[in-house]
Amino acid sequence: MANFLNISRSMFKRKTSCIYQGRVIQPIIWRNVLSKQQNIQNFTSAAENLESVNSVNSVNEQNQQIHTPPPTPPNPPNPIPAEILKASLPFVNQYGWSIDALSQGAKTLGYPNISHGLFPKGGAELIDYFLEDCRRKMSHEIFDKMDGLKVHQKIRFACVTRLNLTKPYIRKWPEALAIMAQPNNVSMAVEHLAKLVDDMWYLAGDKSADMNWYSKRAILAAIYTSTELYMTQDTSPDFTGTFQFLNRRLQDSATFGSLINEINTFANFAAKSTIGILSSKGIGRF
């Protein structure tokens, strides 16, 4: 091919014909051949240049991906406050949901008593920790024990499991309810209750995506809070009265009117108890 092109160029310059491999080649044909060959060479050169550029760009992109630093991870949570909150729970029955309980918890860990300054909201932060911890423990305890149960049985099992976690502090729980009823803490209390009933329905296998999603959680929230409130006044052995009350509420949940009447009765009682506790602690005037 190279020999053919050399002959072509020579004959094109002389504008004469020639014989190549037994054939007479006219000058105009030489010009067409040279023109096509030049186009092929130009295209090949351009393709090689493009491939070279793409190769360089690909290497650069790979280098950028290799050398691009990962996003800065969030700062790890300070474990000291969580340790103090956990260590403070055994002192709740003696000191209540208070700064005193936080001071005692810090003291057992070797921190100074003034460590309660880490908790500007005082007892509310201890309650916040307790509620979140109970929610995790409840989910862990019932997660693999729901097989074979019907939905209403799963809900009851979840409620009983969660109530049992409050048992050790039930005599001080009215104080916690009073603290959560303060305007600054209402949003915290509502958020925890919403998460709790949502966990219960989720673990029970609820997959509703319509208005039932809201109504189920609203009714369960009312059932649980009324049962928890009943528990604070229950003197029966091992709180059997509380669990009987829970059974009735779950059975009555289909009859909304009856449920609302029961809840209103205990809501009035809760309001009066909260006002009394807050007044005794000098919080507000009623």
Q: Please state the rounded mean pLDDT for residues 191-202.
A: 94
As separate numbers, helices (DSSP H) first and strands (DSSP E) second, the chain gives 12, 2
Q: Hunting for tokens 């209403």 — which residue is that?
A: 152
Judge whether residue 283 has pLDDT over 90. Answer: no
pLDDT of amino acid 77: 46
What pLDDT shows up at residue 131?
96
Give 124-175 pLDDT, tens digit per residue.
999 999 999 999 999 999 988 888 899 889 999 999 999 999 999 999 999 9
The SS3 of residue 20 is strand
Closest listed residue to residue 244, CA positions, set 170, 160, 177: 160
- Which range scores top for mean pLDDT: 11-20, 70-79, 104-113, 185-194? 185-194
State the fold for domain 139-272: Tetracycline Repressor; domain 2 (1.10.357)
The pTM of the full predicted model, rounded to 2 decimals, is 0.63
Task: State which of 54-68, 108-122, 258-272 shows the largest mean pLDDT.
Answer: 108-122
Domain spans of the chain, in order of start: 77-120, 139-272
What does the pLDDT read at residue 209? Answer: 74
65, pLDDT greater than 50: no
Alpha-carbon torsion angle 95, 96, 101, 105, nearest 10: 110
Torsion of CA 160, 257, 275, 242, to 10 degrees: -20
Does 258 or 188 have the greater pLDDT score?
Answer: 188
Q: What's the pLDDT tens digit per position in 241-264?
A: 999 999 999 987 655 445 545 555
Beta bridge partners of 18: 25
Task: Return mean pLDDT, the chain.
Answer: 76
Write down the pLDDT at residue 134: 95
pLDDT of residue 56: 47
From CA 167, how far away is CA 109, in angstroms rounded?
25
> Which band of pLDDT confidence, cut at 50, 70 and 90, is reported for residue 49?
low
Residues in the chain, overall count: 286
What is the chain's alpha carbon radius of gyration, rounded to the nearest angstrom?
Answer: 40
Q: What is the pLDDT of residue 171?
A: 95
In tens, the pLDDT along 201-218 reads: 999 988 777 778 888 899
Residue 105 has pLDDT above 90, yes or no: yes
Percent above pLDDT 90 for the chain: 47
pLDDT at 5 over 80: no
> 110-136: per-residue pLDDT in tens?
988 788 788 899 999 999 999 999 999
Contacts (Cβ under 8 Å, ≥6 apart) of 171? 93, 232
Please report the pLDDT score of residue 178 as a whole number.
Answer: 96
Whether residue 10 has pLDDT greater than 70: no
Cβ neighbours, 10 Å, residue 59: 10
Judge contact between 272 and 174, C-beta under 8 A: no
The pLDDT of residue 207 is 76
Query: Is residue 97 within 8 Å of 172, Cβ to Cβ?
Result: yes
Query: Would you call 122 exposed, middle or buried from its count of C-beta atoms within 10 A (0-12, 13-18, 19+)?
Result: middle
State pLDDT tens for residues 14-30: 444 444 445 544 554 44
Side chain identity, residue 224 = Y
